[in-house]
Structure 1
């Protein structure tokens, strides 16, 4: 006998739900959409970025979260998820107190300092590509997240796009190869695109 999928009237109902597993879900139009596992190369790149940021000592290691941090975001159109699980999140120190019971940054909390997404393999016209480059970008800007990195390891692109929030909209700069990333959130960071992408090669 098949069990009916749960439906949720609001985000608080969803936060109270526990299916007893370690699965990650996005909440889309009141329904749960299970997130697939990360690919090994994408996972390697996200882990490398974690260590590069941690070793740069620009932020304490405990504030850097891989995969597990959930961000509540505004739903701007039908089909948008009400929550996102970025590959990497750099929290603010006050989040350590605010997330004692659950690692979720809700809408009534300050936004994280930075989030990063490693783009899944695929062509530019795919749903994955559009979600990472367009829908998440719009939601993160509306959420007030000051900096969003889109790390695209696809061989025909191999680019890191740094999106910086200004007057409610993102301004973007692309970096490739030996370019040093310019990060408004962390201006002293010495990091190149090659350093980030080589882990997934």
Structure 2
């Protein structure tokens, strides 16, 4: 992960600076702009697969949710994240998010039923920085899809292996359940979801 700028900037300066039509993604971490690693083919395939599975479930249950192509989450501090997959509550976005229509910016955790990060080389951000910020923002459910088992042993155990972590908010704090191989993913937001960890990992070309 490479720093693009050194001077700390505000979130609004970051949004004004953000270059368009470059194909490159950036995030703001505590006032510093960082260039995000280019997603691999497997990474992108898993993101698309999960988006499709979640969209089907949203349609099946007639839920007032949608999955935007692009979205920036603004935590309380001078940071801004672009998650791999995010589900938004259309009703709450319409009433609580004044910056959504013009800038695709979300500032309230209650607008987000579920956010997904797919682990790449900057795994510390997903397991530490974003985990803490998503918890503080009040996002009800956070998935970390570590299909290569890159996370630290304190996060995914020893020996390290591909792990699908579901963090759910209880009394303001995340509680985690982890799934591997053919274990079915248990999601509070989508309790009837038919999906195993192995199916998600296989979407990226891994036979687990």
Q: Same fold (TM over 0.5)?
A: yes
Question: Alpha carbons of 1:54 and 1:26: their partners in 2 closer, same or farther (altered >3 Å)?
Answer: same
2:202 is the alignment partner of 1:198: yes
2:85 is the alignment partner of 1:82: no
Q: Name the CA distance, whole Å, in 2 between partners of 1:112 and 1:74.
A: 15
Q: Name the CA distance, whole Å, in 1 between partners of 2:11 and 2:143.
A: 26
2:45 is the alignment partner of 1:44: yes
Q: Which runs of 5+ in 1 are unaligned?
A: 76-80, 122-127
Q: Name the CA distance, whole Å, in 1 between partners of 2:64 and 2:181.
A: 26
Aligned-residue offset at 1:158: 1.8
The equivalent of 2:120 in structure 1 is 120
Q: Name the CA distance, whole Å, in 2 between partners of 1:20 and 1:153.
A: 30
1:128-139 residue pairs with structure 2 within 5 A? 128-139=122-133
Q: Name the CA distance, whole Å, in 2 between partners of 1:61 and 1:120.
A: 31
Aligned-residue offset at 1:62: 6.9
Cα RMSD of the aligned pairs, angstroms, is: 2.6
TM-score by length of 1: 0.79
Q: Name the CA distance, whole Å, in 2 between partners of 1:129 and 1:18.
A: 23
The Cα offsets for residues 132-155 of structure 1, whole Å up to 9 and x where unpaired, read as: 112211111011011000111116
2:185 is the alignment partner of 1:176: no
Q: Name the CA distance, whole Å, in 2 between partners of 1:42 and 1:59.
A: 28
Q: Which runs of 5+ in 2 are unaligned?
A: 150-159
The equivalent of 1:78 in structure 2 is none
The Cα offsets for residues 33-60 of structure 1, whole Å up to 9 and x where unpaired, read as: 2223211111100101111112233466
The equivalent of 2:155 in structure 1 is none
Question: Alpha carbons of 1:106 and 1:142: their partners in 2 closer, same or farther (altered >3 Å)?
Answer: same
Residues 53 and 59, structure 1, Cα contact 8 Å, conserved in 2:
no
Residues 8 and 14, structure 1, Cα contact 8 Å, conserved in 2:
no
The equivalent of 2:142 in structure 1 is 148
The Cα offsets for residues 164-186 of structure 1, whole Å up to 9 and x where unpaired, read as: 01111110001112211111112
TM-score by length of 2: 0.77
Give the number of aligned pairs.
Answer: 185
Residues 148 and 161, structure 2, Cα contact 8 Å, conserved in 1:
yes
